[in-house]
Amino acid sequence: MVAAFSFSKGLTTLSGLLLLSFGSLAASQIEDQAEQFFRSGHTNNWAVLVCTSRFWFNYRHVANTLSVYRSVKRLGIPDSHIVLMLADDMACNPRNPKPATVFSHKNMELNVYGDDVEVDYRSYEVTVENFLRVLTGRIPPSTPRSKRLLSDDRSNILIYMTGHGGNGFLKFQDSEEITNIELADAFEQMWQKRRYNELLFIIDTCQGASMYERFYSPNIMALASSQVGEDSLSHQPDPAIGVHLMDRYTFYVLEFLEEINPASQTNMNDLFQVCPRSLCVSTPGHRTDLFQRDPKNVLITDFFGSVRKVEITTETISLQPDLEIMESRDKKDWMDEELMEPLQYAEQLPVAQIIHQKPKLKDWHPPGGFILGLWALIIMVFFKTYGIKHMKFIF
Amino acid sequence: MAAALPLAVLLLLLLGPVGGGHAEPPRDTLREELVITPLPSGDVAATFQFRTRWDSDLQREEGERITLEKDNCHLLVSHYRLFPKALGQLISKYSLRELHLSFTQGFWRTRYWGPPFLQAPSGAELWVWFQDTVTDVDKSWKELSNVLSGIFCASLNFIDSTNTVTPTASFKPLGLANGTDHSFLRYAVLPREVVCTENLTPWKKLLPCSSKAGLSVLLKADRLFHTSYHSQAVHIRPVCRNTRCTSISWELRQTLSVVYDAFVTGQGKKDWSLFRMFSRTLTEPCPLASESRVYVDITSYHQDNETLEVSPPPTTTYQDVTLGTLKTYAVYDLLDTAVINNSRNLNLQLKWKSPPATGALNRGLVFAEAPPVPFLYAQRYVSGYGLHNGELNTLLYNTHPYRAFPVLVLDTVPWYLRLYVHTLTITAKGKENKPSYVHYQPAQDRLQPHLLEMLIQLPPNSATKVSIQFERALLKWTEYTPDPNHGFYVSPSVLSALVPSVVAAKPVDWEESPLFKSLYPVSDSSSYFVRLYTEPLLVNLPTPDFSMPYNVICLTCTVVAVCYGSFYNLLTRTFHIEEPSTGGLAKWLANLIRRARGVPPL
């Protein structure tokens, strides 16, 4: 009896303990979920995608940038939050056998240009100055919204650059370079102005790792396609188009990103493994010492995707057609007719009027500068030669 | 009580006009139209026009409001239905009267294709008439071009004073105007501008039905850019609201013209269909459109005695004088349920049917009779050799047998080609042809381009040659583009002419007639107005060797290192005696091995 009592007591305590542990487990799970929701701390996403090379044989750099653009759009970042800079036009280039397309795979499997592309900086506008102005926000006041990086201190920014580079520099359009020190200083300016929450910098050029060596601002993670002293190689040429279509590193990054959807939980460590030496020939590198979170806690969609706060409602709203417009139109016309006299279209080529047009006289300004000095010299010489007494003939 | 009364009056004043003037939003209508014209050379031209007419009078309402509430002029019209908000806000913010913006790739060959409905120069062209109320036109122009570059994803921000001109006689307003003071007009062309899908995407987004329904379903970029000529344009102008023309409506026309090449797209065959041109067919009209029509030009030119057959057979035909000649069009009204049948699929097909007798003459595109040559066409080229001088030549052809007509030529030449105006010669039929009006504005280095406007009377059946010599300037090395060896563009010449028509035209009612009849306001029925553009020219400027700064640095450093370095060493180097080292561990090991071998040690 005592045993049974103690048994039941033990059972209750055991069940009580179990309940408590379940309860705490459940509570910690809820906490985890809550923490997960607020993990990254960013509220919006931006992307700055730059292709810096000009000329037809650099087709692959434009294809690189467009494939990252395509992935980023697919994962949710809208065009208004993407600043796309392409230094040359490959799609409508006269040498392109298939106009309005840019392919990333040979045999023309994937058209990364698409039907819905918006390029913000085109052709000659892609310069080091414009790029740094976009990053730091020091832009002339008449620049339209689509050309600005309007990020705040809760924005996660993805910066992707591709082109020809060397040890410590990246070439823009075959005429100027940006050095790694300038880039690091630009990021520091962004940090001091609180223009980003976290920044992911990806670069696909030769000796790309040299570009992130000099960063010193916090919350920056960087990836490069090759180490210092190594060249980044291109992937495959297409015999119909005649040039190399993509670079190896971005090709494998694109393959990796094609499998990501907006809800995926893949983290940065997988991105670091993307292109091993056997596939890429060069050794991709990365730098995470400036980043505060552990890369395995950073989701790919923190940078490539977009945060959405959506609330779904199930109530229906019906829209009524506007009947007022139809009735009031006739009334308004009748009213106006009595007020104004008839207007006329301008004559397109009024020959008689043109022939007898008088030229517009510009306002007369007194001479200045060189002409004034010349006349002053002439008058001075005249009076020196002939003497001041001749002044009386003038006044 | 005493204070409340004026307050109540003030309140009434403020609320009164608000209540009476804008109880309902102004009405807007959309008409869309596609004209398919087989060209004499075997190609086919397709011209889309989407016209939104907005019965709202933005200026008058602004005038009323200014007296009461100065700040709210922009908030006046806040309900946009079919008229796009981006453009409506532009009109009110920059006080525009007219805006014409076009993006073109390729060139319209007037000689072989006939006169165009609306031609545009290669690259980007923007011309704007501002209202009389604008005080600083240049500032508004600069801001407007920046805003448009953001809307259309184009580099229109490169429009500045070095490529903007103020024409004095060309580019009269195409809409209603009660005075034409040319100081409110600005014109700029960017011939280097590339047109691609990123310009088409925002253009399509301005359409009320976007690319989902109606005629805009056919606008797919990969087919539209595989053409010899692609031109998309936006035209905003004030038009008459009714036949009595007592009030103003704003009209937005979006036009897109493409010319499909018979060899590239057609693979040598002259038969065309909507599917072959656009890789799409028409399924339904745009629900927001009050009119949605397709016109096919079935006037036959008696080439090879072949006749054009369209299928499905049209329900109605339309015959009228277009561009001076009588043309017949087959009309397909998409709002008519008989046209789009049960399969909800309309694929127009154009086939050339040859009569059975002839055989050998039908091969390919060989014509038995020459296709009709247009009365006016032009050609432009650069002549000369070397990188110092050159000559710009424009040839204007008048092929009318007995009538002469005037042509207004507008030339804009960049400042780095220094024109010698004393070498300007205009010759026709061997004799000099003096223009009746000449306006020349010389260029200022890095500030403004040359502007030359001339009204030339072209004698019948002649070729008039306008030539002017120029000298190339050397730019500063930072002013060169990243690809200077490509060359520098000279914008095309603009020819505005009243070309005599073969058949007199009837007066046009803008609401009842098709949209392609009301592009230009017509005043005289015996001639029609046309604006042609010549080809843009590519001129090489002398380019410096861009590697010279690097070369100079290398050379200077080498010279300094060798000369100064030698002197420095000579003067400061001293010699010390150094004790030889004993050898150390390596020598000891070597001696060990040598002793083992029996060889004398080191």
Is A390 a catalytic site residue?
Answer: no
Range B30-56 average pLDDT: 91
DSSP A27: H
Query: What is the rounded distance in angstroms from the CA atom of residue B100 to the CA atom of residue B120?
Result: 10
| Paired tokens of B586 | 């390596």
Tell me what the pLDDT averaged over chain B comes to. Answer: 85
CB contact at 8 A, B262 and B43: yes
What is the pLDDT at residue B64? 41
Provide, as residue numbers in chain A, all residues whose Cβ is less than 8 Å from the Cβ of B197. Answer: 91-92, 100, 113-115, 117
Give the side-chain half-sphere CA count within 13 A for A273: 6
Q: Do A355 and B168 touch (CB under 8 A)?
A: no
What is the pLDDT at residue B178? 80
CA distance to B143, B200, B209, B255, per residue, from B102 (Å): 18, 11, 21, 9
| Paired tokens of A146 | 């689509």
Among residues A51, A206, A275, A280, the one annotated as catalytic is: A206
Shortest CA gap A290–chain B (Å): 35
Residue B363, pLDDT > 70, answer no
Q: What percent of chain B is predicted at pLDDT more than 90? A: 57
Nearest to A236 by CA among A350, A151, A361, A110: A110
In chain A, where the domains are located:
44-304
B280 touches chain A (CB under 8 A): no
Query: What is the rounded distance in angstroms from the CA atom of residue B341 to the CA atom of residue A125?
Result: 50
CB-nearest partner of B173 from A100, A143, A346: A346
Is A42 a catalytic site residue?
Answer: no
Amino acid at the residue B465: K
Q: Is residue B354 classed as helix, strand or coil in its secondary structure? A: coil
CATH architecture, domain defined by A44-304 = 3-Layer(aba) Sandwich (3.40)
Range B290-302 average pLDDT: 84
| Three state DSSP letters for B366-409 | CCCCCCCCCCEEEEEEEECCCCCEEEEEEEEEECCCCCCEEEEE
- Measured CA angle at B239 (ends B233, B244), to 5 deg: 155
Pairs across A and B, CB distance < 8 A: 169
Mean pLDDT check: name the lowest of A39-48, A52-61, A72-81, A225-234.
A39-48
Query: What is the rounded distance in angstroms from the CA atom of residue A133 to the CA atom of residue A136?
Result: 5
Residue A334, pLDDT > 60, answer no
Pairing of strands B325-333, B248-260: unpaired
Query: What is the rounded distance in angstroms from the CA atom of residue B446 to the CA atom of residue B476?
Result: 11
Q: Is the dihedral of CA A136, A142, A146, A151 positive or negative?
A: positive
What is the pLDDT at residue B150? 93
Query: What is the rounded distance in angstroms from the CA atom of residue A49 to the CA atom of residue A46?
Result: 10
Shortest CA gap B593–chain A (Å): 43
Provide, as residue numbers in chain A, all residues whose Cβ is less than 8 Å from the Cβ of B441. Answer: none
Q: Is residue A48 classed as helix, strand or coil in its secondary structure? A: strand
Shortest CA gap B583–chain A (Å): 38
B434 touches chain A (CB under 8 A): no
Query: What is the rounded distance in angstroms from the CA atom of residue B486 to the CA atom of residue A14?
Result: 86
- Please report which helix (H) or strand (E) contains residue B98, including its range: strand B96-106
What is the pLDDT at residue B305? 62
Nearest to B394 by CA among B459, B445, B465, B302: B465
Q: Do A337 and B244 touch (CB under 8 A)?
A: yes
Query: What is the rounded distance in angstroms from the CA atom of residue A245 to the CA atom of residue A112?
Result: 11
Q: Is residue B123 classed as helix, strand or coil in its secondary structure? A: strand
Mean pLDDT check: name the lowest of A283-297, A349-363, B227-241, B361-375.
B361-375
Nearest to B425 by CA among B456, B450, B397: B456
What is the pLDDT at residue A201? 96
- Residue B407: strand pairing partners: B456, B497
Residue to test with chain B: of A84, A345, A347, most B Cβ within 10 A? A345
* Number of helical (H) and strand (E) elements in chain B, helices listed first: 11, 26
Residue to test with chain B: of A58, A343, A356, most B Cβ within 10 A? A343
Q: Is residue B139 classed as helix, strand or coil in its secondary structure? A: helix
Q: How many CB atoms lie within 10 A of CB B489?
A: 18
> What is the complex's ipTM, to 2 decimals?
0.83
Task: Enumerate residues 348 to 387 of chain B having a beta carbon within 8 A of any beta carbon in chain A.
Answer: none
Query: What is the rounded distance in angstroms from the CA atom of residue B325 to the CA atom of residue B373?
Result: 12
Task: Enumerate residues 243 to 262 of chain B having a beta carbon within 8 A of any beta carbon in chain A.
Answer: 244-248
Query: What is the rounded distance in angstroms from the CA atom of residue B374 to the CA atom of residue B398?
Result: 9
B422 touches chain A (CB under 8 A): no
Query: What is the rounded distance in angstroms from the CA atom of residue B113 to the CA atom of residue B39?
Result: 5
Distance, first Cα to last Cα, chain B: 127
Query: What's the pLDDT tens digit per position in B76-85?
Result: 567 888 999 9
CA distance to A333, B40, B314, B327, B330, per residue, from B299 (Å): 40, 11, 14, 6, 10
DSSP A214: T
Residue B11, pLDDT > 50, answer no
Residue B14, pLDDT > 50, answer no
Q: Do B406 and A345 touch (CB under 8 A)?
A: no
Helices A180-192, A128-136: inter-axial angle, 10-degree rounding:
20
**H-type alpha helices, A94-194:** 128-136, 180-192
CB-nearest partner of A348 from B55, B197, B496: B496
What is the pLDDT at residue A196? 95
| Paired tokens of B268 | 């040598």
Mean pLDDT check: name the lowest of A111-125, A129-143, B499-513.
B499-513
What is the pLDDT at residue B179? 79
CB contact at 8 A, B206 and B234: yes
Q: Give me the residue label for tokens 């003037």.
A: B21
In the structure, what pLDDT confidence band is assigned to residue A34 with cuts at 50, 70 and 90? low
Tell me what the pLDDT averaged over chain A comes to. Answer: 85
Q: What percent of chain A is predicted at pLDDT more than 90? A: 54
CB-nearest partner of B529 from A54, A113, A348: A348
What is the pLDDT at residue A179? 96
Query: What is the rounded distance in angstroms from the CA atom of residue A218 to the CA atom of residue A111?
Result: 37
